[in-house]
């Protein structure tokens, strides 16, 4: 795999172009390796490098909770119950949630004071949520429908190549 490491070039891309550029990288990661932790870790790393969000990573479903998986960013809450916070709500509703201002989201779980907006996208395996992809920004209203569509493509790809569950 040949990853883009030139940040100047990355920063010259539009948001849509970044999503188009990273999809084959992420596909390569998931096709080359079966280990879930390795693949979630590298996927978080690619997303962090391209988008430089405050926090990006995964929570993985374990019984009735989401448990913190690989991520890039500050230390985060380790367990989230179904329906709780933005992550638990996206799991329960089985849909992407875009939050323009986390301080106005009822039940938002503040892992970091610096986070102001958030997007959570479920990953499905056999029509069941097995994980959520979570990204936080220090900017208000940072995520939009381009992010929702781009991250859904990534989550769908991960669900198709989710070998270990
Ligand atoms: N804010 C999330 C918790 C996870 S952190 O943002 C990393 C939530 O409300 O579910």
Question: What pLDDT digit, counting tens, does each position of 3-38 carry?
Answer: 656 788 888 999 999 999 999 999 999 999 999 999
CA distance to 13, 28, 39, 126, 128, per residue, from 70 (Å): 26, 18, 9, 22, 20
Nearest CA residue ID for atom 5, ligand 1: 111
Q: What's the whole-model pTM score?
A: 0.95
- Cα(37) to ligand 1 centroid in Å equals 20
Cβ(71) – ligand 1 distance below 6 Å: no
- Rounded average pLDDT over 160-165: 81
Name the CA radius of gyration of the chain, rounded.
15
Q: What does the pLDDT read at residue 5? A: 64
Cβ(44) – ligand 1 distance below 6 Å: no
Nearest CA residue ID for atom 3, ligand 1: 109
Q: Which residues contact 143 (CB under 8 A, 6 or more apart)?
A: 98, 99, 100, 117, 118, 119, 135, 137
Go through the domains of the chain in sequence order and give each one's CATH number. Answer: 7-161 (3.30.450.40)
CA 33, distance to chain mean position in Å, is 19
- For 39, the enclosing helix (H) or strand (E) is helix 36-51
Ligand 1 atom with minimal separation from the 110 CA: 1
């Amino acid at each position: 795999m040949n990853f883009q490491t030139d940040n100047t070039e990355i920063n010259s891309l539009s948001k849509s172009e970044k999503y188009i550029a990273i999809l084959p990288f992420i596909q390569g990661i998931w096709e080359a390796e079966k280990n879930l932790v390795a693949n979630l870790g590298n996927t978080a790393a690619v997303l962090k490098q391209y988008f430089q969000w405050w926090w990006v990573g995964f929570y993985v479903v374990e019984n009735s909770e989401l448990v913190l998986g690989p991520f890039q960013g500050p230390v985060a809450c380790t367990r989230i119950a179904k329906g709780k916070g933005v992550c638990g709500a996206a799991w329960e509703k089985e849909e992407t949630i875009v939050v323009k201002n986390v301080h106005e989201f009822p039940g938002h779980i503040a892992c970091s004071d610096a986070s102001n907006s958030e997007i959570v996208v479920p990953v499905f395996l056999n029509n069941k949520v097995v994980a959520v992809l979570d990204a936080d920004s220090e900017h208000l209203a940072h995520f939009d429908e381009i992010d929702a569509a781009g991250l859904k493509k990534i989550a769908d790809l991960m669900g198709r190549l989710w070998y270990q569950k």
